[in-house]
A and B are shown apart, each in its own frame.
Chain A
Amino acid sequence: MTDRPWLTHYPAGVEHELVALPFTTLPELVSRACSDYSDQIAFTQCMPNGMNGSLRYSEVDELSTAFAAYLREDLGLAQGTRVAVQMPNCLAYPVVAFGVLKAGCVLVNTNPLYTAREMIHQFTDSGAEVLVIIDMFADRLPEVVKATGISTVVTVRIAEFFPPVIAGIIRLVQKWWNRTLPTIEVEHTSFTEALDRGRASAGRSSGYLDGVGPDTLAALQYTGGTTGVSKGAMLTHGNLVSNTLQMLQMLGGHIRPGQEVVLTALPLYHIFAFTVNLIGFLHMGARNILVPSPRPPSNLKRAFENYRITWTTGVNTLFNALLNERWFVESPPKHLVGSAAGGMALHQSVAERWRDVTGTPIVEGYGLTETSPVLTFNPLGGLVKDGTIGIPVPSTDVRCLTESGAEAAVGEAGELVARGPQIMAGYWQRADDTAEAIIDGWFHTGDIAERDADGYFTIVDRKKDMVLVSGFNVYPNEVEEHIAALPGVLEVGVVGLPDDKTGEAVRAYVVPIDPKPTAEQIIAHCREGLAAYKVPKSVRFVDELPKSPIGKILRRELRAEAVTSATATIETQGRELS
């Protein structure tokens, strides 16, 4: 039995172990919520201009059952068939995702911004046979369908399930004003038609879920773009149900059943929003406010104006962006109860300002796609330590291992490894990668962390983002956090670049706002708080930092750009602001 020093910090009333699962599969969880809260609104999609549509729990249940019937009866899919789903947050998403799961098929979440090349890789690797895609991105289809095993394409409109007049206006605007609707050049079925066919064939047979249990594969969640090849993390029904309940158990009584309104600005195809917002808050009978795109952050204004948002989830970038919007700061949401941050390190300065502006707590959690995703959380209602990722959720063991494989001492950095019911079954069809990542039941995260005496963990950095300056380890997170505290710094990304003298040198990319600091000021500020080898050797000002779909700053792209521009000797001049 591993020592779990953090258990004493669980808030009163939080069980130390995960309670016996009341469900064995996700469809059971979904059906229960839909019958418990049937007349309540489950999802509302809010467009930037305030146009909206909603679905009740009972409608979500009925529609997803129809979609499941379409997959199994009309298309004749077998249990376990992979169905790729590629759309931004919209009302169709929960219907499709739950439909796929109810059909006993496997959900393959796909980023809608993927290029044809990335789509081809993901669909080939997963062996997806059906693709449900938003019509706006259908221009990539001819190339993709030709090169993959996709045999059926279902197209979804952004305003699916909106009142007809509103849906019509949105479509007109998309078609004639924004011109974002490409002609679909492959054979396809509209979502409406798929649902009609599903309804017509419903009840023809049953038992789509026979044999489906906690160990059955529920979703292939692709990850690992940082290493080049994207791999499918095999998440089972047991993984996702367990993690949902672990997360909720940790948040204790702060989520009131049937009463919450949660803002879902992060994309549902990402594991964080999928487990926490889609499954977790659905289980609690909340109303999910789906925002198709949180960028620019003014897109969230109407959602905050028109709905009594009580919970929000996000990443550092999103919270920071909102704190830089005047309408948000001057008139923060009145009904907010709490916010959960994840996906990337939450800067202390952002956490403090968020509490200050909204008057409500924000807690940071941590996890990876491979862990469904939640591993640790700061205990809401207990001791919250900013800058840490908190303590492991129930039934989860977390340790830091040194290079030699021994458990690191308190305060010593080492690779974070974890064990628990939320750890994936492995990487899809990649036994070698799986064997490398899961050793004796412990999942190796690739993150460097340290544990304090209370059992709180702090992420130092990604193993592969570490910069080696003259033999010293520099963790970009630490330098970024320090620079971000300087006024006039909106966002910052720190990377290591090859250097003749020191092996690698630190460079900071800064997005400035007024009052704009100079490079000299930033370096001087770093000298004050950081050891000399951690101080950036150069500072570049840019308009924007490259980001992942959820807003994580992509250091590898910064590095790539720096290296390219260095060889071209232009040194990113074109992008610099004077």
Chain B
Amino acid sequence: MIAAPLIIATQTVVNEQDVVTPFEQTLLVGLVFVIMFGLGAGLTPRDFRLAIRRPWGLIIGFVTQFGIMPLLAYVLVVTVLFTLPREYALPVAIGALLMGCVPAGTTSNIFTYFSKGNLALSVIMTTNSTLWAILMTPLLLALYGGLIFDADSELQIPVLNIVVTLATLLIPVVAGMILRKYSANVGAVMELLGGFFGLFFIVFLMATWVPRNWALLTSTPWQTYLVAIGLGLFGIAIAYGIARAIRLHPMNARTIGLETGIQNGPLAIAIVLLTFSGSPDIGLILIVPALYSLFIVIVSTVVTFWFRRANTAEEQKIPNLL
């Protein structure tokens, strides 16, 4: 999908080559495949049956994941981002909306573990939202995209392309499931690697992408930072608040908070790379997913420390390897 070039008056001109090199593109997409593969390697057909049948925690997870996060992204875009010139704000908004609409990330499981949350719930919620994403992510993008972009606007969210991309990314999930059936050992290794690469992804971003795009980052207005950081932080806070308000066990409330706020950053980046490839706006579209992926680690770490201090009374059984 090629959108017509935009003239960006106030900002440095950004082109695709600078923001992500072809090598990085390949590597990032490859990493996402491994991550999705690992997710699939942890699944069995019975998980799908359970996902359909199990009510409470998952309904809440579903509502916070696909209700709160996209809405929060939309509100942040309209109230914060749109104070900036439209030529800049619109492409950035696409990234922000996408970031709000993607499913939960696997790193949420790691933070849940450290904040003594309910690990089983976290894994199920991640799985569940990832499966629903193929339907919900495009649907929500179409909904909120329609509110932001006029029908005749030159910049549009390529919903169909995103469906195709998501479907493509589900291939490794299915492959993981099949492989795991034949070798539980390979499945378990892929699962471990998937979680590991989820973190490695962030390290990779910090080590290569940040220094090279330093100029872009320093010229990025504070409003964009606020959207990228606020999405995770407010997402966690709102979901945690709701879970506590409806009197869920604090352990489950912590889990739901982290699970909601922590989105699948690598997936969002992969979607941008695969669907906006060739678009001159790709750099701006990428900025929120990239900033979000960087800052969510810091936000989650701070929140985890706070959770641990606030909830030391309830001990969780450590799901150690043995």
- Taking a contact as CB atoms closer than 8 A, the residue among A49, A52, A299, A331 that contacts B49 in the complex is A331
Q: How far is the CA of A214 from the CA of B123 in the complex (A)?
A: 52
Q: How far is the CA of A166 from the CA of B188 in the complex (A)?
A: 9
Cβ contact within 8 Å between A178 and B185: no
**Least CB distance, B190 to chain A, in whole angstroms:** 10
**Least CB distance, B283 to chain A, in whole angstroms:** 37
CB neighbours of B191 from chain A (8 A): 49-50
B-contact 0/1 string along A285-323, CB 8 Å cutoff: 000000011011011001001100000000000000000
Interface flag for B120 (CB, 8 Å): yes
Query: Which of B75-83, B90-98, B312-320 is near enough to bind chain A?
Result: B312-320
**Least CB distance, B37 to chain A, in whole angstroms:** 15
Near B by CB (< 8 A), chain A positions 40-77 give 46-52
**Least CB distance, B143 to chain A, in whole angstroms:** 32
Cβ contact within 8 Å between B189 and A330: no
Cβ contact within 8 Å between A302 and B53: no
Interface flag for A543 (CB, 8 Å): yes
Instruction: Determine the main DSSP class of B at the interface with A.
Output: helix
CB neighbours of A180 from chain B (8 A): 320, 322
CB neighbours of A306 from chain B (8 A): 184
CB neighbours of A326 from chain B (8 A): 50, 54
**Least CB distance, B311 to chain A, in whole angstroms:** 13
Cβ contact within 8 Å between B315 and A543: yes
27 residue pairs of the A-B complex, CB under 8 angstroms, read: A47-B188, A48-B319, A49-B188, A49-B192, A50-B180, A50-B187, A51-B184, A51-B185, A51-B188, A166-B185, A169-B192, A173-B192, A178-B320, A180-B320, A292-B322, A296-B317, A298-B120, A298-B319, A299-B319, A305-B46, A306-B184, A326-B50, A330-B49, A330-B54, A331-B49, A514-B249, A543-B314
CB neighbours of A293 from chain B (8 A): 322
CB neighbours of A514 from chain B (8 A): 249
In the complex, the chain B residue whose C-beta lies closest to that of A177 is B321
Cβ contact within 8 Å between A50 and B185: yes
CB neighbours of A46 from chain B (8 A): 184
Interface flag for B44 (CB, 8 Å): yes
Q: How far is the CA of A215 from the CA of B246 in the complex (A)?
A: 66
- Interface residues in chain B, defined as those with a beta carbon under 8 Å from any beta carbon in chain A: 44, 46, 49-50, 53-54, 120, 180, 184-185, 187-189, 191-192, 249, 314-315, 317, 319-322
Cβ contact within 8 Å between B46 and A174: no
Q: How far is the CA of A47 from the CA of B184 in the complex (A)?
A: 10
Cβ contact within 8 Å between A136 and B188: no
Interface size on A, residues (CB 8 A): 35
Q: How far is the CA of A110 from the CA of B120 in the complex (A)?
A: 32
Q: How far is the CA of A483 from the CA of B319 in the complex (A)?
A: 30
B-contact 0/1 string along A156-182, CB 8 Å cutoff: 001000010110011001100110100
Interface flag for A88 (CB, 8 Å): yes
In the complex, the chain B residue whose C-beta lies closest to that of A47 is B321
In the complex, the chain B residue whose C-beta lies closest to that of A297 is B317
CB neighbours of A305 from chain B (8 A): 44, 46
Interface flag for A472 (CB, 8 Å): no
Cβ contact within 8 Å between B185 and A331: no
- Taking a contact as CB atoms closer than 8 A, the residue among A158, A169, A331 that contacts B322 in the complex is A158
- Taking a contact as CB atoms closer than 8 A, the residue among B44, B184, B315 that contacts A52 in the complex is B184
Interface flag for A114 (CB, 8 Å): no
CB neighbours of A295 from chain B (8 A): 317
CB neighbours of B322 from chain A (8 A): 47-48, 88, 136, 158, 174, 178, 180, 292-293
CB neighbours of B321 from chain A (8 A): 47-49, 170, 173-174, 177-178
Near B by CB (< 8 A), chain A positions 19-37 give none
In the complex, the chain A residue whose C-beta lies closest to that of B314 is A543
CB neighbours of A174 from chain B (8 A): 321-322
CB neighbours of A173 from chain B (8 A): 192, 321
Cβ contact within 8 Å between A163 and B185: yes
- Interface residues in chain A, defined as those with a beta carbon under 8 Å from any beta carbon in chain B: 46-52, 88, 136, 158, 163, 165-166, 169-170, 173-174, 177-178, 180, 292-293, 295-296, 298-299, 302, 305-306, 326-327, 330-331, 514, 543
Given contacts A49-B191, A50-B188, contact A330 B50 (CB under 8 A): yes
In the complex, the chain A residue whose C-beta lies closest to that of B120 is A298
CB neighbours of B53 from chain A (8 A): 330
**Least CB distance, B265 to chain A, in whole angstroms:** 23
In the complex, the chain B residue whose C-beta lies closest to that of A293 is B322
In the complex, the chain A residue whose C-beta lies closest to that of B315 is A543
- Taking a contact as CB atoms closer than 8 A, the residue among A166, A177, A296, A302 that contacts B189 in the complex is A166
Q: How far is the CA of A292 from the CA of B185 in the complex (A)?
A: 16
Q: How far is the CA of A543 from the CA of B116 in the complex (A)?
A: 15
In the complex, the chain A residue whose C-beta lies closest to that of B181 is A306
**Least CB distance, A174 to chain B, in whole angstroms:** 7
CB neighbours of A165 from chain B (8 A): 189
Q: Which 9 A-B pairs have the closest CB atoms?
A: A50-B188, A50-B184, A296-B317, A331-B46, A51-B188, A49-B188, A306-B184, A166-B185, A178-B320
Cβ contact within 8 Å between A296 and B46: no
Cβ contact within 8 Å between B319 and A169: no
CB neighbours of A299 from chain B (8 A): 319
**Least CB distance, A47 to chain B, in whole angstroms:** 7
In the complex, the chain A residue whose C-beta lies closest to that of B316 is A296
Q: How far is the CA of A223 from the CA of B315 in the complex (A)?
A: 31
Q: How far is the CA of A162 from the CA of B321 in the complex (A)?
A: 15
Question: What 13 new A-B contacts, CB under 8 Å, besides A48-B321, A50-B184, A331-B46?
Answer: A47-B321, A49-B191, A50-B188, A50-B191, A51-B189, A169-B189, A293-B322, A295-B317, A305-B46, A330-B49, A330-B53, A330-B54, A543-B315
Q: How far is the CA of A306 from the CA of B315 in the complex (A)?
A: 30
CB neighbours of B188 from chain A (8 A): 47, 49-51, 166, 302
Cβ contact within 8 Å between A296 and B184: no
- Taking a contact as CB atoms closer than 8 A, the residue among A50, A177, A327 that contacts B50 in the complex is A327
**Least CB distance, A542 to chain B, in whole angstroms:** 12
CB neighbours of B185 from chain A (8 A): 50-52, 163, 166
**Least CB distance, B22 to chain A, in whole angstroms:** 32
Q: How far is the CA of A170 from the CA of B188 in the complex (A)?
A: 11
Q: How far is the CA of A326 from the CA of B55 in the complex (A)?
A: 11
**Least CB distance, B272 to chain A, in whole angstroms:** 32
**Least CB distance, B106 to chain A, in whole angstroms:** 14
CB neighbours of B249 from chain A (8 A): 514
Q: How far is the CA of A180 from the CA of B189 in the complex (A)?
A: 20
CB neighbours of B184 from chain A (8 A): 46, 50-52, 302, 306
In the complex, the chain B residue whose C-beta lies closest to that of A513 is B249
Q: How far is the CA of A110 from the CA of B322 in the complex (A)?
A: 18
CB neighbours of B192 from chain A (8 A): 49, 169, 173
In the complex, the chain B residue whose C-beta lies closest to that of A51 is B188
Q: How far is the CA of A295 from the CA of B320 in the complex (A)?
A: 10
Q: How far is the CA of A243 from the CA of B173 in the complex (A)?
A: 49
In the complex, the chain A residue whose C-beta lies closest to that of B193 is A169
Which one of A50, A136, A327 has the highest number of Cβ atoms from chain B below 10 Å of its Cβ? A50
CB neighbours of B180 from chain A (8 A): 50
Q: How far is the CA of A158 from the CA of B120 in the complex (A)?
A: 24
In the complex, the chain A residue whose C-beta lies closest to that of B191 is A49
Q: How far is the CA of A50 from the CA of B191 in the complex (A)?
A: 10
Q: How far is the CA of A83 from the CA of B192 in the complex (A)?
A: 38
CB neighbours of A136 from chain B (8 A): 322
**Least CB distance, B79 to chain A, in whole angstroms:** 39
**Least CB distance, A265 to chain B, in whole angstroms:** 13
CB neighbours of B49 from chain A (8 A): 330-331
**Least CB distance, A161 to chain B, in whole angstroms:** 13
Q: How far is the CA of A306 from the CA of B120 in the complex (A)?
A: 18
CB neighbours of B320 from chain A (8 A): 178, 180
